[in-house]
Amino acid sequence: TERSLVLVKPDGVRRGLTGEVLHRIEGKGYELVALDRRTVGRDILAEHYAEHEGKPFYEPLVEFMSSGPVVAVVIEGERCIEGFRALAGATDPTAALPGTIRGDLGRDWGLKVQQNLVHGSDSPESASREIAIWFPHLA
Ligand code: ATP
């Protein structure tokens, strides 16, 4: 079975939506294999967001992601990478469909970065790379 790295981003933790996100993941039938709340610095985020370095939203993204605690979760289940991305909805929370985490709970705040509540790995390769960054003992 497959694993994915999920993050409840600082906006989600700040708004008290961690339980709601975990509820939807468990409701879907995925297992919570590891879970940790922590505030991370630029080093971890630079690794995590290496593919976005140099893009216009990179600096605000790192700033935002280090602005408060995140809850990092490893989930497990058949096709959970694709499954969680379906639960999360589109990157832009204004456009994300109702029924998804971002569509139901997210909105635009007129800031330089999409504050879109959650992250989920986008491929098996990203999942193993990201799990090694956030939970080295599971890699
Ligand atoms: P995530 O990887 O967080 O699940 P995603 O795969 O939909 O979301 P990516 O393209 O990997 O989005 O971008 C990572 C994050 O960078 C997004 O979740 C969002 O917070 C921010 N971001 C991406 N594109 C933009 C953009 N055009 N403007 C502002 N912020 C953006």
pLDDT at 4 over 90: yes
Sign, Cα dihedral of 54, 51, 72, 42: negative
pLDDT tens string 32-43: 999 999 999 999
Number of structural domains, the chain? Answer: 1
Three-class SS state of 87: helix
Q: What is the mean pLDDT of residues 100-114?
A: 96
Distance in Å, CA 100 to ligand 1 centroid: 16
pLDDT grade for 11, boundaries at 50, 70 and 90: very high
Distance in Å, CA 113 to ligand 1 centroid: 8
Q: Tell me which of 23, 52, 119, 137 is the catalytic residue.
A: 119
Q: Which domain holds residue 84?
A: 2-138
Q: What is the mean pLDDT of residues 105-131?
A: 97
Would the CB of 120 count as within 6 Å of ligand 1? yes
Q: Is there a catalytic annotation at residue 52?
A: no
Q: Assign residue 35 the CATH number of its domain.
A: 3.30.70.141
Between vectors from CA 88 to CA 93 and to CA 98, what angle results, nearest 5°?
60
The answer to whether the beta carbons of residues 8 and 121 sit under 8 Å apart is no
Which residues contact residue 30 at a Cβ distance below 8 angstroms, ignoring those fewer than 6 apart? 75, 76, 77, 80, 83, 84
pLDDT at 139 over 90: no
